[in-house]
Amino acid sequence: MSLYLPIADLSLDIWLLLGIGTAVGFVSGLLGIGGGFLMTPLLILVGIPPAVAVSTGALPILASSLSGALAQYRRGTVDVTLGLVLIAGGLIGAWIGVDTVAGLRRLGQFDVTVSLAYVTLLGLIASLMLIENLTILRQRRRLPPSKPRPKSQHVFLHRLPLKMRFRASKLYISALPPLVIGAFVGFLMAALGFGGGLIVVPALIYLLRVPASIAVGTSLFQATFVSAATAMLHAAVNHTVDAPLAAVLVAGVVAGAQLGSSAGPQFKGWQLRVLLAVLVLLVAVRTGYDLFIEPAEHFSVQSLMRGVQ
């Protein structure tokens, strides 16, 4: 059964779109991440224009993040104060990202920019994750358990002004680092449809020393508001949010997330980390393949004359 997508200006099988949403939701529920890094490339792969894929993908991220954030809030693992600082930065970054998309579309360079950015960003993240996972596995096999290393104090970060107390995270640090992290992730979400969980959580844990459980909950809290703002900005500025497409994807994501959450306890932590790294690497390779292979059509013709009767 085909569904016409008015903004994307094409018809696609509704079961295919539901399958994409369910797959992304399953991965999101299984690994505890937003899934935006997977949603946008899959939509582009089935023929959705990149600008529509990026902007419409913010709504499924909103659905999955909201569900996860509510669950984390009930468990007491959301640092609301830290989340508000991240949201403030995210809104700034989202506005810049939406404006960047508009500029690149006017220049006709948005499609290739998205592909290059995904190949570079996902390839780097996957490589670092695989190296870290392999290092941990080798240490467990060859070396006896060692005492945990003392956490570095990040002297530079502690000297920054505008200090705030984040009680849930038990931190008293400058608000500038989380503001910058939020802005960077907001930009990625608006410009690339990248959910940001792959960046926010490690940044909070390793740079700011936020406890892991608090980092995950706070990341979902931030993603909920920033993804909503991103979708509204894209709809108002670029007019690229496809409502029927978003509705089908949200339905699939919600169903898939429930399945993924149920399957998560069946895996060990290191297995999930390796699975995530491999999945990210596969998405990067597939995106790069489409970018560098010779296209079937070498030229496209488009009328540049407007207002001519």
pLDDT tens digit sequence for 109-140: 888 888 888 788 777 877 777 777 677 767 76
pLDDT confidence of residue 297: 56
> From CA 91, how far away is CA 93, in angstroms rounded?
5
Helices (H) and strands (E) in the chain, counts: 12, 4
pLDDT at 179: 94
Separation of alpha carbons 76 and 180, rounded Å = 25
Q: Say what the pTM is.
A: 0.79
- pLDDT at residue number 157: 67
Which parts of the chain register pLDDT below 70? 31-35, 133, 137, 140-158, 264-265, 267-273, 290-309
Give pLDDT, residue 149. Answer: 47
Domain boundaries, the chain: 11-141+171-292
| Percent of the chain residues past pLDDT 70, beyond the cut | 81
Q: Identify the helix (H) or strand (E) that includes residue 289.
A: helix 269-292
**Residue 143 burial (C-beta neighbours within 10 Å; 0-12, 13-18, 19+):** exposed
Q: What is the pLDDT of residues 230-285, one digit of tens each?
A: 999 999 998 999 999 999 999 988 888 778 777 766 766 666 667 777 777 787 77
3-class SS shares of the chain: helix, strand, coil, % to 5:
70, 5, 25
CB 204 within 8 A of CB 218: yes
Three-state secondary structure string covering 54-109:
HHHCHHHHHHHHHHHHHHHHHCCCCCHHHHHHHHHHHHHHHHHHHHHHHHHHHHCC
Q: What is the pLDDT of residue 304?
A: 44
Residue with tokens 């529509």: 52
CB 307 within 8 A of CB 145: no
Q: How far apart are CA 73 and CA 217, in angstroms?
A: 7
Average confidence score pLDDT of the chain = 80
